[in-house]
Amino acid sequence: MREDRAGRQVGRTNQGLGPAARGRQQSSSSPQEVGRWLAALPGAQPVLAGARHAGRNLGRHLFEDRVMYASTEPCPMCLMACYWARIPRLIFGASSHDVATYGFEDLQFYREVALPADRRSLREEVADAALRDQAVDVLRKWADMLPSSVEPKF
């Protein structure tokens, strides 16, 4: 992270984007406004930020009728955000191979998450039974508050 002239943290990013309908960006903010907003969110990713921004402007968080445009292939986190937002189509300019040429790690992260969990550099483990039970209880209570029953998604 580096700081801009105003002292805000600015991360290295390689993407510009946004969900659009019929090829038009659905945002009323200028790129400068979006940039300032991104700078205020340390670790914010452009595709995530664009989806949030569009969601705020459109009053929803799902974009089943939209196309995501990005200047580069999204990083794995942003790609998952596209899935969460139910975006059916993604169009990008530069590929992860292209951005790797310029020092971005997206391609390495794609390779990492494709590995079996026991071979990844990030060690993941389930907490002890008591903590897991507490966490699952929170989920159960949340599901009990929903107006209809939850459908498991295995």
Contact residues for Zn ion (CB under 5 A)?
Answer: 45, 75, 77-78
Compute the least distance from the CB of residue 7 to Zn ion, in Å.
24
DSSP summary character for residue 119: G
Toward Zn ion, which CB reaches closer, 51 or 78? 78
CB closer to Zn ion out of 77 and 100: 77
Sign of CA dihedral 120, 123, 126, 131: negative
Minimum CB–partner distance for residue 117 and Zn ion (Å):
21
In the complex with Zn ion, the residue whose CB is nearer, 38 or 75, is 75
Q: How far is the CB of 77 from Zn ion (least distance, A)?
A: 5
Q: Which helix (H) or strand (E) holds 143?
A: helix 129-144
Sheet of 24-25: strands edge to edge?
24-25, 17-21, 67-72, 89-94
Q: Cα-atom radius of gyration of the chain, to the nearest Å?
A: 18
